Amino acid sequence: MKNAPKHSIDLLRDLVNTFDCRNEYLNTDKSVEQLVSEYTDYLNDKCDVDGNYFEDEPNVGNYSEELTEEITPRQAQDLLYSVRKDLDTLIALGESYAHFQSAQATHKYLKKAKKALEGLS
């Protein structure tokens, strides 16, 4: 559905819904035209939801191969444990606007991330 054609008000509704979960500083100094352009680029898989264009990123494939050689299986397990522990800490904060700008969305996605990690070992 991400790549489904959007028209006028539906596009604007979806833009607001999608961009509502990202940090406000990413939207602040942009015109409506810039936001719509960025959103259509996101829909066309040219950038992520935060506006980071994929062609501007370093070659992730080579970097991950380098990391694989440097990290032992034990270190990988320790990292996974650390991520789970950190997620538990963040989830325990709840929907706190003192800690997160988009508190409800952040809390929701933190819980989803924790659930996604449950099957990994």
Q: Answer yes or no: is pLDDT of 65 > 80.
A: no
Are residues 79 and 49 part of one domain?
Answer: no
Residue 25 · residue 50 · CB < 8 Å: no
Report d(CA 87, CA 2) in Å as an integer: 27
Domain of 46, in residue numbers = 8-56
User: Which span out of 7-16, 54-63, 70-79, 91-100 was modeled with the highest average pLDDT?
Assistant: 91-100
Long-range CB pairs of 56-64, under 8 A, 24+ apart, other chains included? none
Using CA atoms in the order 100, 13, 116, 49, what is the torsion angle rounded to 10 degrees?
-70
Q: Per mean pLDDT, which range of 18-22, 46-50, 53-57, 108-112 is the poorest?
A: 53-57
Are residues 13 and 51 part of one domain?
Answer: yes
Overall number of domains in the chain: 2
* 65 is a domain residue: no
Neighbouring residues of 17: CB distance < 8 A, sequence distance ≥ 6: none
* 61 is a domain residue: no
* 62 is a domain residue: no
Are residues 83 and 48 part of one domain?
Answer: no
Are residues 76 and 49 part of one domain?
Answer: no
Helix (H, G, I), strand (E, B) or coil at 19: helix
* 3 is a domain residue: no
Section 32-48 average pLDDT: 85
* 2 is a domain residue: no
* 17 is a domain residue: yes
Facing residues of 84 across strands?
Answer: none
